């Protein structure tokens, strides 16, 4: 009888602890607002709002900390979006209490193209720094507050500082010399719009039109859908396409071998972060790198091979 009672106790404990166990495995990489609500009370959750300070103070998701995008991508060496030095990154994470085992959800605005990719850029940097569980919020603050009328807070959250002790994962970063050495050996993906990929247009800070030799095109703008469909631009937000659509887009360009090495790039290393995050975190490709300097750096050197 005692043995039977022991098994009953163990069974009850199993079902009590099961949700906690599942939660500990992390959230979906591309997170819905509904799923975020379910996890708001998790003590290991860190919501990072990357909007400007004044926007954060005007109203944010309850419990979110405000760390403006420019703190994550200050630029260096004359390039716009280069990652900070490792020590500076560790200081930033430590000051905001982020640890390698934190469940971090990054969000911001979805109002403009740069706003949308700023979120995945920060998510990529967190993965580079060794944070294991990182998600991005689909629809951003507009879906949360404007479309769904969910609660906002004006309380400024001041996280408790804690020394960051994560191990940096530098395999997600590709530098120029490495990219050059891998031309013809790996899949190099240009994530810009077709007019930029084909050499018809360029941004002012990029020295020449064209693309890295041998690159294929997978435009970042195509990963987002207007929500709700058909809504006027000023009244909508932007969400990620569903997993099936993203997978179909990806496999049509890079194939379905998850072990193949892929290097993504754009003009400054920001736009490409969306496809890096989708390929690596949402679709399960195991060896995806982001070329941080991208065309801004590549076109500075006349010897770097460019196709028109």
Secondary structure of the chain in the HEC alphabet? CHHHHHHHHHHHHHHHHHHHHHHHCCCCCEECHHHHHHCCCCCCEEEEECCCHHHHHHCECCCCEECCHHHHCCCECCECCCCCCHHHHHHHHHHCCCCCCCEEEEECCCCCHHHHHHHHHHHHHHHHHCCCEEEEECCHHHHHHHHCCCCCECCCCCCCCCCCCCCCCHHHEECHHHHHHHCCCCEEEECCCHHHHCCCCCCCCCCCCCEECCCEECCHHHHEEEECCCCCHHHCEEEECCHHHHHHHHHHHHCCCCCCCEEEECCCCCCHHHHHHHHHHHCCCCCEEEECCHHHHHCCCCCCCEEC
| Inter-residue contact 60 to 49 (CB < 8 Å) | yes
Q: Report the interhelical angle of 113-129 vs 86-95 (nearest 10°).
A: 100
Chain centre distance of CA 94: 20
Q: What pTM, to 2 d.p., does this model score?
A: 0.90
Residue carrying the six token digits 């060794």: 130
Residue 148 in tokens? 């769904």
| Inter-residue contact 166 to 129 (CB < 8 Å) | yes
Give the C-alpha separation, 73 to 83, whole Å.
Answer: 6
What angle (nearest 5°) sits at the alpha carbon of residue 259, between those of residues 305 and 267? 35
- Give the gyration radius of the chain's Cα atoms: 21
Provide the pLDDT for residue 22.
37
Kindly report, residue by residue over 150-208, the tens digit of the pLDDT: 999 999 999 999 999 999 999 999 999 999 999 999 999 999 999 999 999 999 999 99
Kindly report, residue by residue over 220-254, the tens digit of the pLDDT: 999 999 998 766 655 579 999 999 999 999 999 99
Q: What percent of the chain has pLDDT over 90?
A: 83
Provide the pLDDT for residue 12.
40
Categorize the per-residue pLDDT at 46 as very low, low, confident or very high, splitting at 50, 70 and 90.
very high
Kindly report, residue by residue over 3-41, the tens digit of the pLDDT: 545 554 444 444 444 443 333 456 999 999 999 999 999
Domains in the chain, ordered, with CATH?
25-147 (3.40.250.10), 170-307 (3.40.250.10)
Mean pLDDT of 111-123: 96
Q: Residue 91: is it exposed, middle or buried by C-beta count within 10 angstroms (0-12/13-18/19+)? A: middle
Residues 6+ apart with CB under 8 A from 245: none
| Inter-residue contact 122 to 29 (CB < 8 Å) | no
Residue carrying the six token digits 């072990």: 259
């Amino acid at each position: 009888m005692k043995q039977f009672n022991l098994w009953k106790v163990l069974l009850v404990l199993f079902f009590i602890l099961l949700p906690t166990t599942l939660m500990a495995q992390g959230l979906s990489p591309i997170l819905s607002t509904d799923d975020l609500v379910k996890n708001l009370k998790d003590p290991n959750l860190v919501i990072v709002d990357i909007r400007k300070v004044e926007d954060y103070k005007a109203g944010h998701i309850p419990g979110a900390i405000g760390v403006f995008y420019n703190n994550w991508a200050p630029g260096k060496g004359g390039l716009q979006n280069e990652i900070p030095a490792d020590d500076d990154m560790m200081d930033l994470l430590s000051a905001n209490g982020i640890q390698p085992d934190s469940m971090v959800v990054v969000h911001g605005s979805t109002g403009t193209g740069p706003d949308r990719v700023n979120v995945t850029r920060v998510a990529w940097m967190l993965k580079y720094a060794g944070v294991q569980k990182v998600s991005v919020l689909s629809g951003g603050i507009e879906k949360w507050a404007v479309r769904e009328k969910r609660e906002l807070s004006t309380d400024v959250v001041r996280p408790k500082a804690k020394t960051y002790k994560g191990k940096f994962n530098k395999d997600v970063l590709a530098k120029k010399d490495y990219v050059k050495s891998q031309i013809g050996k790996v899949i190099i993906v240009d994530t810009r719009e077709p007019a930029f990929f084909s050499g018809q247009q360029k941004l002012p800070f990029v020295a020449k039109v064209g693309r890295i030799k041998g690159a294929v095109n997978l435009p970042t703008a195509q990963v987002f859908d207007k929500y709700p469909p058909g809504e006027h631009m000023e009244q909508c937000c932007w969400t990620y396409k569903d997993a099936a659509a993203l997978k179909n887009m990806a496999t049509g360009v890079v194939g379905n071998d998850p072990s193949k090495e892929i290097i993504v790039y754009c003009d400054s290393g920001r736009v490409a972060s969306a496809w890096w995050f989708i390929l690596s975190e949402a679709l399960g490709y195991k060896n995806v790198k982001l070329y941080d300097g991208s065309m801004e750096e590549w076109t500075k050197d006349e010897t770097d091979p460019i196709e028109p």
